[in-house]
Structure 1
Amino acid sequence: MKIGIIGATGYGGLELIRFLHNHKEMSELHLFTSSEEGVSFSHKFGHLTHIVDHTLQKIDDEQLAKLDVVFTSTPAGVASKIMPTLLHTGPKLIDLSGDFRLKDRQLYTQWYKKEAADEKALAQSVYGLSEWNANKIKVAPLIANPGCYPTATLLSVLPLIKEGLIDATQLIIDAKSGYSGAGNKPSQTTHFSEANEGFSIYKVNEHQHIPEIEQSIAQFTDVTTTITFNTHLVPMTRGILTTAYAPLVGSATEQSLVHCLQQVYANHPFVRVITDATTVNTARVKGSNYCDILVRVDQRTNRATIICAIDNLVKGAAGQAIQNMNIQFGLPETTGLDVVPLFI
């Protein structure tokens, strides 16, 4: 396959390159830029010297149309200007930004503070939650890759909501992320002197992933709800840990919740339902496309605690994007992604 990446110099782009480099079906890789045309990629990123010495190319629709797959790993509001002109010109399109996730254009403008994508292009986009939407992903001309927080949240709670085991109308999610989720552009928030030795909450009740999670719960479970969702920054480079709380429904037990998760993900190689440990750690999925889920029930409160860990740059971004590409081309989902987590 001939593959192109727009936005390759960001963390998501770097991770796409890392995994695609060992993807057995990739024959060509093209890296596109809006501002650094002609620059050697390995000159910018010395760790890729003699590995990825590609020259950054100008974004050109004619060149992009010759490819089999185009990934956009760009800031919000950029892909929505690029993707519509590429639709049905040849390549499969996979967007890692949030531009095509929300089907309600007014909702996108409200939460992202950006102009929404073209209505026709948005109508053709498919939400790329790999384990839940594979049938539509297979035939999609444009995939809206899920956000990192929604990926962890949805994978851990969707089975339990769909089976009526937890009350989604009282769902509370506490989410924590490493600083790579903020991208590689320096800011006061991510400055080492202010980020190190600190633990902060941000976008209180205002995170743009809230409507994405609510929309997906409705899409995959037919349950309409509003959630309480808040995000925190942890002084580490990568990783996401979400902790969801919800009351049990009827006679649901911890055993029935665990069984439900095991049944749903029995044939999904990247989701691991943890039963033989008392904790979940982001280090155990670091650098990999794995998703670890642990569920516990507090009998005193009759409430479930559902914990999920992913690498925000892999399962939460580039890894899931490649997993979706594999689904589109009829390849095993693990192709190019079957790596051992880094852990240390």
Structure 2
Amino acid sequence: MTVHHVLRAVENVRGVAVHTPILSAAAFNERLGRTVWVKAENQQLTGSFKMRGAYSALAAMDPARRSRGVICASSGNHALALAQAARLFDVPAIVVVPEDVPTVKKQMMGVLGACIVTYGRRTGRRDAVVHQFAHRHGMTIVPSADDAWVIAGAGTVAWEMIQEVPDLAAILVPVGGGGLAAGTALAATGHPRLHVFGVEPAVADDTYRSFQAGERISIPPPVTIADGLGHAEPAALAFDINRRLLAGVVTVPEEAIAEAMAYLWRHYRLAAEPSGAVAFAGLLHAPERLPDGPVGVVVSGGNVDWSTYRHLLDTAMPRLENDAATVLH
């Protein structure tokens, strides 16, 4: 894959995907001592960047094949995106999701007309279920990260950022299966001074461990507040791209993710889900890893149950108040 796949995806999603805002906050820039640009993909259709990849994949698909329907496995956001894309193309969709998928995501899938199949996150054979339904109904599987056009669609996020802020020194993106990181890295090729970093929860560090080993490593199914990043192994195609093109992978503790959600609300008025705030957590937790210059951060999604969001912000806000008081003193 090359940057040309991303450019093709730009055309695929034009007029469908929202060109989301890129935001900066003077108070936070002053606090951090550098300019930060936040890409608000929580304002994308279906509430996350995933719409770009799902629609790109269906747009590139043979029409006869597409008409038989599509199916995916997902922790939530990719399923939502595929349901929306399938609706726009007027084809059937089945989404296979964990039993504990956040309620807000599950409700939206139903509204979009997808057939919902659930599995046990720790005991269910997710991929076997997907292949069984795909074979039975003649549907095409659209992976969340292990697909060239899904990756290329995800790369349109970074392409927009680079067009608006061409002097970025680094872009931070969350890493689950690795599709967004791979698409971002492809979009950044041709910009040798631009470094792309993946960020993932420390308790779901399959990509970090894989980077250290030089090959894909599997970990036990992780438990993290960032439910969209709870992968046990990187996607094969995405990892092949990431190990060649990423500048590095940063891991962050759970409390840093909650603090990032609070900072995003306080300074940018963005309501991010935990997975969507992970890249910002990397900025807060390991700024020394980044080169000098403006930094771009992808807030990848905002689909979070209100009770979870309120609890995490209530937990994190007192730490922000103490931090602000220390800085002022």
TM category (shorter chain) comes to: 0.3 to 0.5
Relative contact order higher in (CA < 8 Å, ≥ 6 apart): 2
What's the TM-score once normalised by structure 1's chain length? 0.31
User: Which structure's CA Rg is the greater one?
Assistant: 1
Q: Which has the higher strand share?
A: 1
Q: Which has the higher helix share?
A: 2
What's the TM-score once normalised by structure 2's chain length? 0.32
